[in-house]
Amino acid sequence: MTDLETRVAPPRAPLPRRAVVALLGYAGVRALGLAVLFAWSAARGKSGFTLLTARWDALWYARVAELGYGYEVRLPNGDVHSNLAFFPLLPWLERLLHALTPLSYGGAGFAVSLAASLAAAAGIYAVAELVHGSRVGVCAVLLWAVLPVGIVQSMAYSESLFTALAAWSLYAVLTGRWVSAGALAALAGLTRPVGVAVVAAVWTAGVLSFGRERGAKRTPGALLPSYASRWRRALGMLLAPLGAAGYVLWVGHRTGAGPLGYLDVQAGWRNGFDGGHAFARFVADKFSSFPSALAGLGLIAGVALLVWLYVICVRDRQPVELLVYTGVVLALALCASSYFGSKPRLLMPAFPVLLPLARALARPRTLRSALVTAALAVAAAAYGAFWLNGSGPP
């Protein structure tokens, strides 16, 4: 074979360059959402920036950043809302940015979320591109951007930060970067309770990998990873749970309630895991009258859609790491007894469930996909502005 007959694959561009289209599209969708929010809020005599940085959970994060832990509110019904329920990574970053810039704590949280949302979009692209290719990667990012509650991605909340850490941890696992995967999983565990989903993904991948190696040892001539490679995998698995476990144990020590003290803190907020019983009862109660029955049907349809998409993910043979992660996120969101209005944003980190829709969106011509995405972006921007100027997230 001559040199002319030898085909050499051209080198791929670096990942940041490959993700440019996805990131520009994401930034455009988020800019539209913020513009509509600020205009809508101004028309109602409200501050869009205040809605993003100084209401609901954003206030709790800012208080932790400013004063630390130990604040609680006792409600007339006996419930105790303690700021120990809020994991520390976002407040730590808010405190750091506040110390380095003129930003308020809430403003620092907004800046962290903006940066983290771009990092999350890049991570989602990286995972989707690895599994299904570049076009699906772009579509997955845009679908995540146009979620009905996508405005939360720009709030001083922890969803964007968590999704960024989770996505890059999953990408690290899929590409064999075990120490990075474990470190990012540990940081995700310091961000939200659902960090256990990232830990579960890392551990599942690690256990299966060790199992495959054990089987390969019985195969003559099989290539086995080096001793150093196995140690990096073990180190990554050891690092993964340190964030979540460390904070939960610290809360238990601080409250004097032992290792499960964090569950008592969550109980004070009426949060817990009941297998979906409370959510099912909430949906059933919607059928007590005709107007609310429509909402009940919508909730059932939404849950059915999520289950259907997850089944498609299984049929598409997504990597087991993604299936485990998504399954845990869905289970924790749908089967928790928390405030039911928060469930849509709790589901936001389950981005792999969007991959079947991204594949479908990637099939038509570019113009058709662009028109569909633009229509969804406008609808999401309008809903986000309406939502934050109304009930908003808890």
In three-state secondary structure terms, 80 is: strand
pLDDT score at 263: 92
- Lowest mean pLDDT, pick from 4-8, 270-274, 326-330: 4-8
Q: Which two tokens stand for residue 270?
A: 């009426």
- What pLDDT, on the 0 to 100 scale, is given for residue 167? 98
pLDDT at 131 over 80: yes
Report the alpha-carbon distance of residue 249 to residue 206 in Å, rounded. 24
Question: Which pLDDT tens digit goes with each residue over 340-360?
Answer: 778 889 999 999 999 999 999
Please give the pLDDT value at position 283. 85
Amino acid at 2: T
pLDDT single digits (tens) 286-305: 888 878 888 889 889 999 99
DSSP E strands in the chain: the ranges are 72-74, 80-82
Residue 222, pLDDT above cutoff 60: no
Measure CA of the first residue to CA of the last residue in the chain; give whole Å: 67
Residues 237-287: tens digit of each pLDDT: 999 999 999 999 999 999 998 888 999 999 999 888 888 888 888 888 888
Q: Which of 344, 351, 350, 347 is nearest to 384 (CA)?
A: 344
Write down the pLDDT at residue 211: 81
Q: Are 140 and 126 within 8 A, CB to CB? A: no
Q: Is the pLDDT of residue 129 over 90?
A: yes
Does the pLDDT value for residue 391 go beyond 80?
Answer: yes
For residue 286, the model assigns a pLDDT of 81
Which residues, in sequence order, are CB contacts of 210 under 8 Å at separation 6+? 230, 233
pLDDT at site 224: 60
> Greater confidence, 292 or 186?
186
Find the mean pLDDT for residues 112-137: 97
- Which residue blocks in 158-241 are alpha helix, DSSP H? 159-174, 178-189, 195-216, 227-239
Rounded to 10 degrees, what is the CA torsion of 25, 364, 140, 126? -90
Whole-angstrom CA distances from 217 to 59, 213, 223, 226, 237 are: 55, 6, 9, 13, 22
**Residue 312, token pair as written in the block:** 């498609």
Mean residue pLDDT of the chain comes to 91
pLDDT, residue 4, reads 35
Is 51's pLDDT higher than 90? yes
Confidence band, pLDDT 50/70/90 cuts, at residue 324: very high
Question: The tokens 């993700």 sit on which residue?
Answer: 19
Residue 61's identity, in one-letter code, is: Y
Q: Output the pLDDT for position 3.
A: 38
Residue 41 has pLDDT above 50, yes or no: yes
How confident is the model at residue 5, as a pLDDT? 38
User: What is the rounded average pLDDT of the residues 12-40?
Assistant: 93
Give yes or no for residue 221 having a pLDDT over 80: no
* Higher-pLDDT residue of 394, 381: 381
Rounded to a whole number of angstroms, the CA Rg of the chain reads 22
Q: What average pLDDT score do residues 306-321 get?
A: 96
